[in-house]
Structure 1
Amino acid sequence: MKASVNDVAERAGVSVSTVSRAFTRPELVSERTRKKVLQVADELNFSVSRSAVALKRGQTFRIALLAGGHIDWFSARILEGLNSVLHDTGYDFSIYAITHDEERARFFEQLPVRRNADAIIVSSFNLSPDETDRLHAMGIPIVGINAVSPGEFDASISIDDTAAIQILVRHLVALGHRRIAYLYEEAISPLRFSSHQRVTGFTQLCDELDGVTGTAIAVRHGDDCANVAVTTLLSQPNPPTAICVHQDSWAIPLFFRLPRYGIRIPDDLSVTGFDDSDFAEEVGLTTVRQLPRDMAATAARMALDLINGRTPEHRHITAPVQLMLRSSTAAPRA
């Protein structure tokens, strides 16, 4: 027969209400009493229904993730990071991956009936002021990952995309490159903002550096980045000697496509990526490493703190990035 709350109370020598509080309001029970109740509950294989606890607390034990775009390397690591923290706490998370404007509008229109989360984590999603206000109106904590305006969130963790791309540019300039291109995705929807931050950082620094010509080349959504790179290199009388690519998944195909046209990496062209994602090390891609899994784990802990009425030790964090020097960059040919 399954043990009841009365069985636990009798063996622990406490009241039924104390057993209930040990599970639902532990802050109202002494640490010694709570440990005793939990030990007895474990011995009797007793557990409190999570749905009952949720109902009593007015909680859902669910955290919502709002993300822009399809699932890719970055967002997959975000999911891993959230799960690494939330799984052991009994929290689930719901994923709202917004891929187009109609879906976006529908999500925010239905917010009033979506009060089914205790917090929301917004990852690489460029919120408008009105959308931010709508989220705050839900009355639950909002945590940002790679947020445009961290101050609009209760807590956030982001990398500095502008500074990160400039690390790569300075590396190329130090090698002697003076004609540098940057391949980035043309903005077709304000779902993500990293692309804008990086291209801005690239052009600003190239403009500031004497003798450096920076060319930003937008790749339309759906176009082949490798084809754009080849066209750029073969159509210009003085083509760039180095190319920064918005993300590793775009840069890696260049290692296989460019040699078909007699362009060798890094002899004829230095190539950099961004992320340090899968296969970057294997192909020898110089890139900037960011750690979305760690950022998501931090965001999850922030969300749990806020749900439980605690202020995170650091509310707004700039996550570090690291330059990963590999064989895809070298000094330009004389």
Structure 2
Amino acid sequence: MYVPTIKDVAKAANVSVATVSRVLHNLSGYSDKTKQKVLQAIEELGYHPNAIARGLINKRTQTIGVLFPNVSSGFSSEILHGIEEVAHEKGFSVIVCNTAEDGKRTMKYLQVLREKQVDGIVFTSEVLKDEYYQALKEMSIPVVLVNTQSHKHMIPYVKVDDRQAAYQATAYLIEKGHREIAMISGHLWDPIAGAPRMEGYRQALEDHGIEFLESRVAYGDFHWESGRRAMESLLAEAPSFTALFAASDEMAIGAMGAVFEKGMRIPDDLSIIGYDDLTLSKSVFPPLTTIHQPLAQIGCLASDKLIALIEDSQNVSSSIVSHHIVERQTVRSKG
């Protein structure tokens, strides 16, 4: 298969290879007429400048790496949509790596991204362990954290205030008259979304004079199946409750399935609020009341910050993005 080269373009446009290179890199030193001739030759020949060859000139590959613990989740795909939108607008390609639940592939993928010579990395939803930080430091490229933060290292991040959002979700159920409120939480050893959301739930109960009961809490891994299992265990073993806060929409939807299987109705017999506002939460029946995280906006912001760092901006700060409650049909007032 014939692949045109920069020499072919130069020949077709009747200019030097250096002139073609200058046009490709938006450098000066040629007339508008010459530029049009070169662009026309590029189009007619179907010439695609090699990213690595371009990188030899600007020391960049115009690619960024993104690390997700679960690429297939609705949460990840909505963030990725935002990341890709901004990256594409600014002329960057995106390499997505699925690091798996316990981060067992994180080091492997950091090595892959190093070999690919990416210009920067978006690191999402995982604790930034010392070994990861060391690997990133050795790569000497910018990093932006998403849905996580490092208290040890000064790395810009984009996330919501998980503790505050969980507090607000629980307080909303209390305002609707509920006092027996259960929770499906992430694991407490997870300092990113597990512990802070549990703290928010617990604090809201305490601030409203409601006793926190460990027996009303079950744990999951933020995915659908774990929410279903957690709900089955709460219905079988927990003291009775009239409302539930699930720390992710997927767990809330899994919980709804377990409730329906018991012949109970939502919200008549049990009110449920989720967390994330995934597209899926509008599609279930009844539609899920939830905490809205602007996931695509988080992705856009992260991409923006990373590309600014790649392009030598020194003034990139962290962002706590705002959340709010989206009222649908899974919570009723208890009167």
Which TM-score tier does this pair reach, normalised by the shorter chain?
Answer: 0.7 to 0.9
CA distance, structure 1, for counterparts of residue 184 and residue 14 of structure 2: 66
| Amino-acid identity (%) | 22
CA contact (8 A) 1:271 1:285 kept: yes
Aligned to 2:298: 295
C-alpha change, 1:250 and 1:308, in structure 2 (3 Å) is: same
CA distance, structure 2, for counterparts of residue 324 and residue 214 of structure 1: 27
Aligned to 1:72: 73
User: Aligned to 1:259, what secondary structure does the other structure show?
Assistant: helix
CA contact (8 A) 2:282 2:288 kept: yes
- In the superposition, the TM-score normalised over structure 2's length comes to 0.81
Aligned to 1:218: 218
Deviations 1:65-90 (A, max 9, x none): 12224520111112222222223444
User: Aligned to 1:182, what secondary structure does the other structure show?
Assistant: strand
Aligned to 2:198: 199
Deviations 1:170-218 (A, max 9, x none): 1111111112111023367x5x721222112222332233235455623
CA contact (8 A) 1:142 1:153 kept: no
Question: 1:308 is aligned with what amino acid?
Answer: E
C-alpha change, 1:80 and 1:151, in structure 2 (3 Å) is: farther
CA distance, structure 2, for counterparts of residue 247 and residue 88 of structure 1: 31
- The within-5 A match list for 1:55-70 is 55-70=56-71
- In the superposition, the TM-score normalised over structure 1's length comes to 0.81
Instruction: Tell me by how many angstroms 1:272 deviates.
Output: 0.6
1:94 aligns with 2:100: no
1:323 aligns with 2:316: no
1:44 aligns with 2:41: yes
CA contact (8 A) 2:64 2:93 kept: yes
CA contact (8 A) 1:144 1:150 kept: no
Question: 2:256 is aligned with what amino acid?
Answer: F
Gaps of 5+ in 1: none
1:4 aligns with 2:9: yes
Is 294-303 or 128-137 further displaced after alignment? 128-137
User: Aligned to 1:186, what secondary structure does the other structure show?
Assistant: coil
CA contact (8 A) 1:78 1:295 kept: yes
- The within-5 A match list for 1:306-317 is 306-311=309-314, 315-317=317-319
C-alpha change, 1:187 and 1:212, in structure 2 (3 Å) is: closer
Question: 2:312 is aligned with what amino acid?
Answer: G
1:285 aligns with 2:285: no
Is 68-77 or 213-222 further displaced after alignment? 213-222
Tell me the C-alpha RMSD between the 2 structures.
3.2
Is 45-54 or 286-295 further displaced after alignment? 45-54
Gaps of 5+ in 2: none
Deviations 1:196-253 (A, max 9, x none): 22112222332233235455623355964334324323434x4122110121112123
CA distance, structure 1, for counterparts of residue 179 and residue 247 of structure 2: 19
User: Aligned to 1:239, what secondary structure does the other structure show?
Assistant: coil
Question: 1:207 is aligned with what amino acid?
Answer: E
CA distance, structure 2, for counterparts of residue 327 and residue 230 of structure 1: 22
C-alpha change, 1:151 and 1:186, in structure 2 (3 Å) is: closer
CA distance, structure 2, for counterparts of residue 76 and residue 137 of structure 1: 29
CA contact (8 A) 1:144 1:153 kept: no
Deviations 1:82-127 (A, max 9, x none): 222223444222222212354345456x479636211011011111
CA contact (8 A) 1:272 1:286 kept: yes
C-alpha change, 1:5 and 1:243, in structure 2 (3 Å) is: same
CA distance, structure 1, for counterparts of residue 65 and residue 272 of structure 2: 37
Instruction: Tell me by how many angstroms 1:148 deviates.
Output: 2.1
CA distance, structure 2, for counterparts of residue 132 and residue 239 of structure 1: 45
CA distance, structure 2, for counterparts of residue 89 and residue 229 of structure 1: 45
Question: 2:291 is aligned with what amino acid?
Answer: V
Q: Number of aligned pairs? A: 320
CA distance, structure 1, for counterparts of residue 35 and residue 163 of structure 2: 50
Deviations 1:252-306 (A, max 9, x none): 2333432342432222211011111133223221101112222112211222221
